[in-house]
Amino acid sequence: MKLMFISDIHGSLYWLDKALEKVQEEQPDNLVILGDFLYHGPRNPLPNGYDPQGVAARLNPYSKSIVAVRGNCDAEVDQMLLEFPMMGDYVMILHEGRRIYVTHGHGFSIENLPLLSEGDIFIQGHTHLPVADVKEGIYVLNPGSIALPKENNPNSYAVLEGGLFSVKDFDGNKVKSIVL
């Protein structure tokens, strides 16, 4: 099963359209969205193509293949626009014999891991920084941000397939990767 991860859309229809082009190219079984869907947040600048209603309208046709969690910038009113559940703080995915703990990262995080077993996978968004590493025997991952990357990182997304987690920029270059 192939999974594609995006995070921190922050209402950018421009960058969501770029990500959905990659969905068409990558053909994942599921699109996993790690929160911060519609609102840019008070600390962030307005992202390119800020259009929260447009973002919701563009995501809704993919609702049957989306797995999503709530970010710190997401509210109940956002759920009213989206046709898939996104208000959970985390979701567990069973993937090729492994548990994947999916969250936004403002509660449990790479620095504050939940109780997991060695070899499990923890993936978060929130920091807008790509990560592919191992901590205490747990794979810790972050696809970065599609709309508002930080620390001179490129706009990015990630793919998990065949035991390889790859963070990619929108030109298709690998930013980070790790064999799981």
pLDDT digits (tens, 9 = 90+) for 81-94: 999 999 999 999 99
Per-residue pLDDT reduced to its tens digit, 25-54: 999 999 999 999 999 988 889 999 999 999
Rg over CA atoms, the chain = 15
Residues 68 and 35: beta-carbon distance below 8 Å:
yes
35, 74 Cβ separation under 8 angstroms = yes
- Three-class DSSP category at 2: coil
**Domain housing 54:** 3-179
Alpha-carbon gap, residue 45 to 107, rounded angstroms? 23
- Residue among 157, 10, 145 at smallest CA distance from 74: 10
Which tokens sit at 77? 């009113």
Q: Which bin fits 15, alpha (ψ -120 to 50), beta or left (φ > 0)?
A: alpha
Q: Say which DSSP state 120 is in.
A: -
- Provide the residue type at 100 as one letter: I
Does the predicted TM-score (pTM) go above 0.85?
A: yes
The phi-psi region of residue 162 (left if phi > 0; otherwise alpha if psi is between -120 and 50; otherwise beta) is left
Residue range 43-68: mean pLDDT, rounded: 96
Number of domains, the chain: 1
Assign 150 to helix, strand or coil. Answer: coil
pLDDT digits (tens, 9 = 90+) for 127-179: 999 999 999 999 999 999 999 999 999 999 999 999 999 999 999 999 999 99
pLDDT tens digits, one per residue of 115-133: 999 999 999 999 999 999 9
CATH of the domain at 26: 3.60.21.10
